[in-house]
Amino acid sequence: MTAGEIAMSRLVFGDAVDYDKVRIHNGEYLWFGLQPDDTAMTPNGEMYFNPEYFQEDFSSSGLRDQRWFMHEMVHVWQHQLNYPVKARGAFRIGLSYDYTLMPGKKIGDFNMEAQGNIIADYYLVKFRNARHAMYESKYRNDPDALVLLEDALSLFIEDPTDRRSLP
């Protein structure tokens, strides 16, 4: 990870991630073209991007790539807290990337992929003032988007090492 990527990640994960263990590969995890080109994989605490989408430093790339990077960092965080990312990712049937924020619904109530987008959207809104770049388009024009995200993420924000935030 670059210094910029670590700084960007620390805004969200603090010290809950051991950044020295994180590798970002300019190559796919699956062999023989089995990994879709526009799909990154983070099954083991390391990120694997197709070379066409790999960035030397995601912290200095565009908002879409930063959102993608933060989504993958969520899988790093999940893995480092011993959530079975690889096993669960192998059986992704029914794992929606979409999410709906509702009062009382916390981050641990969402599946691993939705968590990735919630936390990535939180990063964009809180630290980049980029509500327009959120994954979940229904919140892009919602002036309360940050309040809704912070409510869903309250336990995570308070202590990102708390395993109750995992799916």
Q: Which residues are catalytic?
A: 72
Write down how long the chain is: 167
Q: Is 41 exposed, middle or buried (0-12, 13-18, 19+ CB in 10 A)?
A: buried
Q: What whole-number distance in Å separates Cα of residue 16 and Cα of residue 85?
A: 17
- Written as one letter, the residue type at 55 is Q
CA distance linking residue 117 with residue 114, whole number of Å: 5
